[in-house]
Amino acid sequence: MSTDQNIELFIAYLKSQNILIDFSEFEIQVKTHPDYPSLLSFSDALNFFNIPNIATKVENEEISSLPSSFIALLKDEHGKTFFSFLQRKNEFYHYRKGKQNKKETLEVLKKKWSDVVLLIEKPEDFIDKSSQQNILQSYLIIGLIIFTLALIYWFSNSFITLLFGFISMIGIFLSIEALKTELGIESKVSQTFCGAISNADCGQVINSTKVSWLKNFKISDISIWFFSSQILSLLLFAVAGFSNIFLNYIFLCLILSVPITLYSIYFQYKIEKKWCPICLSIIVIIYLQIILLLQINFEFSLYTKMFILLIFIFIIVAILLSFFKSVFVDRKNLKRDYIKYLRFSKNYKVFKGSLKNSQNEFFTNEIVILGNTEAEKKITVITSPFCGFCENVHETLESILNKYSDQIAISIRFNFYEEAMDDNAKNLLTRLIDIYKNDGGASFMEAMNFWFKNNKYDKWFLKYSKSEESKDIIQFELNEITNENIKKGLSFTPNIFLNQYNYPTYYSRENLEYFIADWIEDEDV
C-alpha cells in the first residue's frame, strides 16, 4: 500500500470519529516527519492537532474487545505488513488493501493480525475545524453549475440542450478525476472507480508511455479540454440564440471522436492490458451525448461566423487549461520540495548538532519561570511585549507549555531600558511581573495574550490596572535581568536558549515545538 493511501486511511478514520481538521496540514505534518512513513509519524501528527491517540499491542484474542473502528497493522499472504483502517459491521471486518475492498470474519482476520493497533479519541473540548472555506467553495461550485445550466435552459428553452449540458458537466467531473490520477492525487471517487474491477489500474493507463504520442497528450488533458469547451460554447451559443447550430457542430465533433474512443478501448485491452474505469466512463459520456443528439432532426449548414467562434472558444480553452495545468504541476512540485525541506529541518539529530555548536550562556538572575520550576529542561526566552516578532514565539511557548508543563520550565526575560521607556511601557512591564508574583503563571500568560491581541495601553490598563506597591522593587529586578542580558550581548528580541544552548538562528522559531519531545528525552543537551 502506498504512503498516500496510508494517509487516506488515517483521514478516513478521523472522519469516522467526526474529527474534522485541516487534512492538507495533516498530510504535511505526516510527510515532513523525520520517521515518515512509520506509525510514529502519524501519531505525532495527531498530537500536533491535540488529538489523543495511543499505539499499542493487542493480541488477536482481544480483537473483539476493540472499538468498532481502528487502525491496525495486518499481514498479507506473503507476510508483508501494511496499515489498514478496519470497521466492524455485524460479524464482519471491512478494510481496504491497495485498490480492493476486503471483508473478513474474525477468524480470518486473526490469521492476518500483527498485534499493532492505533486508537484515537475525540477530545471533549474538540472544536470542529473542518474548513468552512472549503464547504463554502463546494456550495459555490454547485451553485455555479446550477446557475450555468439554468442559463442554458432559459436561453435555449430546450430540455435536450439542458440535458446535454448536464452530461458535459459529468464529463468535466470525470476528466478532473482523470487529471488527479495522472498527477498522483488519490480521491474517494478515483479509488471507487479504479477499484471497481480486478484488472484495473487507472494510473498505469493514464500515465502510460508505451505509445509515444501519449506522453504529450493525456486522456485527462483531451477530455477536460473537450468537455470544458462544450460547456462554454453551449452557454455562449444559447445566450446568443444559436444553441441548435452549436448542437449541429458538436455532433460532428462527437462523431469524429469515436475513432479515438475505440482506440482507447483497444489500447487498454491489447497494449496496456489494464482497464481504466474512469477512461471508460468518459467514453460512455461521449456515447450518451451522441445518442442524445440523435433525437434531434439536424439541418446541417455551415455558418462561417459561428464555426469560427466555436473554433476560437476551443483554442482559448486549450490555452487556459495548458496554463492552469502548468501552474498546478509547478505548485505540486513546489509542495513536494517543501515537504522534503521540512522533513530535513525537523530531523532532531541535525538540529541537535546545530544546537550544541551554538553560543552557550548561563543565567543567574530570573523572575518569571513558568511550568515546572524544578525541571532539568529549561527554555529561556529574551522577549518584549513591544517586539512584533515576539508574539509568534509567545504562542509557540504557550503551546509547548500546555503539552509539557510538568517536564519543562520556561524562563521569561524582559529587557527593561528604563531611560528609553515612557511611563506606560514601564507600567506595563512592572504590572506583568506583579501579576506573575501575585496570581501565577497562567494569569501572566493570559495578560501577555491580551496585550498581543489588542496592543493598546488604555484597554490593557482598564483590565489589569497599574502596578503601584511593588513598582520600585520590580523595576530593580528588571534592571538586574537587563544588565545581565547586556553583558552577554543579548539585546535583541526574541532570543531563545534551550538550557544553556542558543537556539540556532537559521531554524524558524516556530519549529521549536517539533524538537521539544526529543529534547526532553535527550540527556546530552
Buried b (16+ CB within 10 A) or exposed e, 96-108: beebeebebeeee
Give the tens place of pLDDT for each residue, 141-169: 899 999 999 999 999 889 999 999 999 99
Decide if pLDDT at 38 tops 60.
Answer: yes
Overall pTM surpassing 0.85 (yes/no): no
Asked, colleague to colleague, whether 133-336 and 349-521 share their fold, the answer is: no
Q: List the chain domain ranges.
A: 3-120, 133-336, 349-521
Per-residue confidence (pLDDT) for residue 203, from 0 to 100: 83
The CA distance from 227 to 168, in Å, is 6
What was the pLDDT predicted at 166? 95
**How far is 171 from 287, CA to CA, in rounded Å?**
11
CA separation for the pair 83, 74 (Å, rounded):
6
pLDDT mean over 448-476: 83
Nearest to 433 by CA among 389, 385, 398: 385
pLDDT at 292 over 80: yes
Buried b (16+ CB within 10 A) or exposed e, 232-264: bbbbbbbeeebbbbbbbbbbebbeebeeebeeb
Mean pLDDT computed over every residue of the chain: 86
Least confident of 20-34, 318-332, 365-379: 20-34
Instruction: Please say if the pLDDT value at position 2 is more than 60.
Output: no
Helix H segments across 267-358?
A: 277-293, 304-345, 348-356
Note the CATH number of domain 349-521.
Answer: 3.40.30.10
**Cis preceding linkage at 385, omega within 30:** no
**pLDDT value at residue 508:** 85
Confidence of residue 316 (pLDDT cuts 50, 70, 90): very high
The architecture that CATH gives domain 3-120 is Alpha-Beta Complex (3.90)
**Residue 221, pLDDT above cutoff 70:** yes
The larger pLDDT score, comparing residue 221 to residue 289, is at 289
Confidence of residue 126 (pLDDT cuts 50, 70, 90): low
Q: Tell me, what's the pLDDT at 127?
A: 57
The set of cell numbers assigned to 109 is 482476520
Q: What is the mean pLDDT of residues 350-377?
A: 91
Interval 382-430: pLDDT, tens = 998 888 888 889 999 998 998 898 999 999 999 888 777 888 888 898 8
Q: For residue 369, what pLDDT is reported?
A: 94
Per residue, the 3-state secondary structure of 243-269, as one string, reads HHHHHHHHHHHHHHHHHHHHHHHHHHH
Residue 511: pLDDT band with limits 50, 70, 90: confident
Q: How many CB atoms lie within 10 A of CB 194?
A: 23
Does the pLDDT of residue 484 top 70, yes or no? yes
Note the pLDDT of residue 7: 87
Cα 24 to Cα 10, 44, 238, 338: the distances in Å are: 13, 15, 40, 13
Q: Which of 421-425, 447-451, 518-522 is predicted with the least confidence, judged by mean pLDDT? A: 421-425
- Mean pLDDT for 113-142 is 75
- The string of pLDDT tens digits covering residues 304-314 is 888 899 999 99
pLDDT (mean) for 428-435: 90
Partners of residue 79 on adjacent β-strands? none
Confidence at residue 3, expressed as pLDDT on a 0 to 100 scale: 57
Is domain 133-336 in CATH 1.20.1440.130, yes or no?
Answer: yes
Helix axes 132-156, 159-182, angle to 10 degrees: 140
pLDDT score recorded for residue 99: 66
pLDDT at residue 216 in the model:
65
86-116 pLDDT, tens per residue? 999 888 998 887 667 788 899 999 989 988 9
Q: Enter the C-alpha cell of residue 103.
A: 471483508
Residue 302, pLDDT above cutoff 80: no
Q: How many CB atoms lie within 10 A of CB 144?
A: 10
